[in-house]
């Protein structure tokens, strides 16, 4: 079986395919490609202007915003079509990139039945030096690329700079081009390679007049500014595309992974590698170099320098081993490139499956609908305080199950693609979930596990797709019907558990925490008594039990199972919280849940003393926030009198190089001064901490301790006392 491992549409409109042969080698083929686009009408009407040469129009079946399909025989014809559409004000909708058009048109997918282990992967990492010891900057002539590390399967190529000259650096960049050409990888992986490695190499290559010929078929890289949405925040990065290859940034994959796991405190390679167990916690066997040491080590101890580079490559590969298979699976499912699978959202992916059917059926396509705001899941905190004998139940795949139970396709899905697709994906997932447990080989089990996990994510996003105004086949009313049934269902469960003598503690969307001493030993029996209230096709599951639960507020609670503590909610685990307050809250929770005999109050007093003496490290008091906009944008905004001003953004303006949107900025608050009272006027980056000239303001942080006590004291039986500490440390 021939498996497609690379695809590129050239400027002449030809498709260049890289196909894996059975022996693992790669073969190139060229195929014809006819670009296409959807049009809202015949350009200029029935008696409109003549069509450009090479353009063929077809009227599509059915109703919809796009009733005409246009095929172009060449890129020139295609450009003429776009121009004609613009001149005649005819809405035109084209899939991007062209590679997706090709895949959709041929019902083809990348990788076919290629095992992940046979994907030709290459890790990349560069080390750079700076003439003056500061952070290396590609724009400075004398800051240089010292080494380029490539790891391709078992082969490692550590290319190094021969001498500190332009000639030598140019030679290094040329060697890199040659190495990539020889290894011919399907994928290039690196940690933060968009924002650092590739960007740095691009700048040096431009300066030294070396082409960035890193693509297949001898093609050059292209760069453009792009943006990725990771949960609530946007990340800005200079995207790099290589014809015929995928570029994968594990720094982005790690952040996408952390949306659901939320266990990472830093996204840096070294920390993440330890978290995932790729390197032992004590760093044994791993060579570490501080940023400032790298340049010197290149000359003083080359072996150590190279060991460090090799370890970076090893960790990067380990990360991609864990995080890339999901996207590899998606690429086999959707008509898109692997790189697109890592950088695009779920809407784009689901849209592609719809459009593939509509294209081949020659059916008119809708435009995305208006979606009115609608009510979501039922959420309520029923109790506050500490409870014992806690059980957790939840409904299995609530929203997908409800969608299938309703069985209705979105309003504009004339072909009825949605429900059959969801059914098929669910059946696939169940099949692979089974295989992940029972398959003979461990590789096979891992592959099945990756598939089922990837399908799970996809299935769960179908509901969100319906409610999104950018989804071509969205249907807000159907989404609203799903949540309405979900609320009703959860409330009937709450009532039923109540009838069975349980104390309901907290309910959120599809799950219920309750306390019941008599059922604690036999939760399955309780489940059997309650489950009959559920409609067919909806299953309730017993998910776990806990010796104690502290209920704080809606969506904010802590669980203790006798071994470990689980925290939920922004109040209890926000990464923006000052570390010393976070530690205090952790102590409180351990104490309340019976995991520790020590009251947090002694620690609180300790903090008071330390703060007063400014003995607490600045890292303990600093807040760290993710930037929601670029510092340059913020600067322009305030220059025009924009408000409100923000402490984190003000701190970002003080840093060089300036951080970007999506980066985290840690800052502390300095002393109050005349005309400088607000936080934003007193904020200073931790990176610029100066204990003598700009120490932190103890009174500011002592006040935070008072606020903490006022908020959490009642759970310890402490009445809130307002102290006058603030006056003692002013100025």
Partner DNA sequence: GCGTGGTCAATACCT
Partner DNA sequence: ACAGGTATTGACCACGCG
Q: What is the binding site for DNA (CB under 7 A)?
A: 229, 231-233, 262, 344-348, 371, 373-377, 379-381, 394, 460-461, 463-465, 467-471, 479, 483, 508-511, 552-556, 567-571, 573-576, 623, 625-629, 643-648, 664, 677-680, 707, 711
Of 24 and 373, CB closest to DNA: 373
Shortest distance in whole angstroms from residue 726 CB to DNA: 8
Shortest distance in whole angstroms from residue 398 CB to DNA: 7
Interatomic CA distance for residues 466 and 195, integer angstroms: 34
Interatomic CA distance for residues 28 and 426, integer angstroms: 36
Shortest distance in whole angstroms from residue 212 CB to DNA: 25
Of 295 and 684, CB closest to DNA: 684
Shortest distance in whole angstroms from residue 445 CB to DNA: 27
Of 77 and 648, CB closest to DNA: 648
Interatomic CA distance for residues 309 and 148, integer angstroms: 9
Shortest distance in whole angstroms from residue 675 CB to DNA: 8
Structure tokens at 128: 């750079």
Of 597 and 644, CB closest to DNA: 644
Of 132 and 375, CB closest to DNA: 375
Shortest distance in whole angstroms from residue 344 CB to DNA: 4
Q: Hey, what's the torsion of the CAs at 503, 505, 509, 511, to 10 degrees?
A: -70
Tell me whether strands 379-381 and 511-515 are parallel, antiparallel or unpaired. unpaired
Shortest distance in whole angstroms from residue 255 CB to DNA: 11
Could you tell me the CA-to-CA distances from 155 to 150, 151, 174, 179, 287 in Å, in that order?
A: 8, 6, 19, 11, 19
Structure tokens at 693: 């000239």
Of 394 and 496, CB closest to DNA: 394
Shortest distance in whole angstroms from residue 233 CB to DNA: 5
| Backbone φ, ψ for residue 17 (5° rounding) | -110, 140
3-state secondary structure of 454: helix
Of 431 and 645, CB closest to DNA: 645
Longest dimension (CA), the chain: 86
Shortest distance in whole angstroms from residue 466 CB to DNA: 8
3-state secondary structure of 66: strand
Shortest distance in whole angstroms from residue 711 CB to DNA: 7
Shortest distance in whole angstroms from residue 224 CB to DNA: 14
Could you tell me the CA-to-CA distances from 475 to 131, 320, 368, 406 in Å, in that order?
A: 58, 36, 9, 14
| Backbone φ, ψ for residue 124 (5° rounding) | -130, 135
Of 445 and 568, CB closest to DNA: 568
**For 500-578, where are the alpha helices, taking DSSP H only?**
523-530, 570-573
The answer to whether 92 and 39 are in contact (CB under 8 A) is: yes
Interatomic CA distance for residues 130 and 402, integer angstroms: 59
DSSP 673: B
Shortest distance in whole angstroms from residue 55 CB to DNA: 27
Q: How far is CA 31 from the centre of its chain?
A: 35
Shortest distance in whole angstroms from residue 620 CB to DNA: 15
Of 380 and 424, CB closest to DNA: 380
Residue with tokens 């040096």: 204
Of 51 and 571, CB closest to DNA: 571
| Backbone φ, ψ for residue 388 (5° rounding) | -115, 170
The answer to whether 401 and 538 are in contact (CB under 8 A) is: yes
Of 39 and 235, CB closest to DNA: 235
CA-angle at 231, arms to 452 and 260, nearest 5°: 40
Residues contacting 511, CB < 8 A, separation 6+: 392, 393, 394, 395, 543
Of 321 and 710, CB closest to DNA: 710
Compute how many other C-beta atoms are within 10 angstroms of the C-beta atom of residue 506: 25
Helix, strand, coil percentages in the chain from 3-state DSSP, rounded to 5 = 45, 20, 35
- Is the preceding peptide bond at 644 cis, omega within 30 degrees of 0? yes
3-state secondary structure of 609: helix
Shortest distance in whole angstroms from residue 382 CB to DNA: 12
Shortest distance in whole angstroms from residue 574 CB to DNA: 4
Of 150 and 343, CB closest to DNA: 343
The answer to whether 316 and 123 are in contact (CB under 8 A) is: yes
Of 442 and 722, CB closest to DNA: 722
Q: Hey, what's the torsion of the CAs at 310, 312, 317, 322, to 10 degrees?
A: 150
Of 100 and 452, CB closest to DNA: 100
Q: Provide the edge-to-edge strand list for the sheet that holds 92-93.
A: 55-59, 68-72, 36-39, 92-93
651 burial level (CB within 10 Å; 0-12, 13-18, 19+): buried
Element (H, E) at 422: helix 418-438
């Amino acid at each position: 079986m021939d498996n497609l491992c690379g695809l590129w549409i050239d400027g002449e409109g030809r498709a260049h395919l890289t196909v894996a042969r059975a022996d693992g080698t790669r073969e190139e083929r060229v195929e014809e490609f006819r670009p296409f686009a959807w049009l809202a009408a015949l350009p200029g009407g029935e008696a409109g202007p003549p069509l450009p040469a090479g353009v063929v129009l077809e009227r599509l079946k059915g109703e919809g915003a796009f009733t005409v399909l246009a095929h172009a025989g060449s890129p020139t014809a295609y450009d003429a079509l776009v121009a004609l559409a613009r001149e005649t004000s005819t809405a035109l909708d084209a899939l991007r990139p062209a590679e997706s058009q090709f895949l959709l048109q041929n019902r083809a997918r990348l990788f076919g039945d290629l095992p992940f282990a046979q994907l030709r992967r290459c890790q990349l990492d560069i080390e750079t030096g700076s003439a003056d010891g500061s952070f290396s900057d590609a724009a400075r002539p004398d800051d240089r690329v010292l080494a380029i590390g490539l790891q391709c399967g078992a082969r490692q190529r550590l290319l190094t700079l021969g001498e500190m000259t332009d000639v030598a650096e140019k030679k290094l960049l040329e060697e890199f081009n040659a190495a990539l050409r020889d290894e011919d990888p399907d994928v290039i992986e690196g940690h933060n390679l968009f924002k650092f490695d590739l960007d740095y190499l691009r700048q040096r290559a431009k300066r030294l007049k070396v082409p960035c010929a890193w693509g297949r078929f001898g093609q050059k890289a292209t760069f453009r500014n792009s943006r990725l949405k990771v949960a609530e925040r946007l990340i800005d990065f200079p995207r790099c595309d290589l014809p015929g290859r995928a570029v994968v940034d594990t720094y982005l994959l790690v952040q996408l992974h952390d949306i659901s796991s939320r266990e990472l405190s830093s996204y840096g390679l070294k920390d993440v590698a330890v978290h995932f167990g790729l390197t032992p916690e004590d760093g044994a066997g791993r060579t570490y170099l501080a940023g400032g040491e790298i340049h010197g080590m290149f000359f003083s101890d080359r072996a150590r320098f190279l060991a460090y580079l090799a370890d970076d490559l090893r960790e990067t590969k380990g990360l991609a081993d864990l995080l890339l298979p999901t996207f590899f699976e998606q690429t086999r499912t959707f008509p898109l490139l692997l790189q697109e699978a890592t950088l695009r959202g779920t809407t784009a992916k689901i849209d592609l499956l719809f459009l593939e059917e509509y294209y081949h059926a020659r059916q008119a396509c809708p435009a995305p609908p208006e979606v009115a705001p609608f009510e979501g899941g039922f959420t309520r905190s029923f109790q506050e305080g500490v409870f014992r004998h806690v059980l957790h139940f939840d409904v299995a795949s609530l929203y997908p199950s409800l969608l299938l139970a309703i069985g209705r396709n979105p309003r504009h899905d004339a072909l009825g693609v949605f429900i059959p697709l969801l059914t098929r994906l669910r059946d696939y997932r169940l099949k692979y979930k089974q295989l992940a447990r029972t398959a003979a080989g461990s590789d096979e089990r891992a592959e099945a596990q990756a598939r089922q996990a990837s399908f799970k994510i996809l299935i769960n996003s179908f509901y969100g797709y319906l409610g999104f105004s950018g989804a071509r086949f969205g249907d807000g009313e159907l989404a609203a019907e799903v949540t309405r049934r979900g609320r009703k269902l959860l409330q009937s469960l709450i009532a039923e558990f109540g009838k069975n003598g349980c104390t309901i503690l907290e309910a959120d969307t599809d799950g219920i925490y309750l306390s019941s001493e008599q059922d604690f030993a036999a939760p399955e029996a309780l489940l059997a008594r309650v489950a009959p209230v559920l409609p067919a096709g909806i299953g309730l599951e017993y998910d776990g039990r806990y010796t104690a639960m502290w209920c704080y507020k809606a969506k904010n609670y802590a669980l203790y199972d006798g071994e470990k503590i689980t925290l939920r909610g922004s109040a209890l685990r926000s990464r923006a919280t000052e570390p010393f307050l976070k530690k205090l809250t952790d102590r409180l929770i351990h104490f309340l849940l019976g995991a520790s005999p020590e009251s947090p109050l002694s620690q609180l007093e300790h903090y008071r003393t330390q703060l007063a003496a400014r003995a607490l490290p600045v890292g303990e008091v600093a807040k760290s926030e993710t930037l929601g906009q670029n510092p340059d944008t913020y600067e322009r905004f305030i220059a025009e009198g924009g408000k409100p001003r923000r402490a984190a953004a003000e701190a970002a303006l003080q840093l060089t190089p300036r951080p970007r949107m999506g980066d985290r900025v840690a800052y502390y608050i300095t002393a109050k001064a005349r005309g400088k009272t607000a936080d934003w006027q007193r904020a200073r980056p931790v990176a610029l901490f100066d204990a003598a000239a700009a120490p932190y303001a103890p009174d500011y942080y002592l006040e935070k301790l008072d606020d903490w006590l006022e908020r959490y004291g009642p759970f310890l039986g402490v009445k809130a006392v307002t102290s006058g500490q603030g006056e003692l440390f002013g100025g």
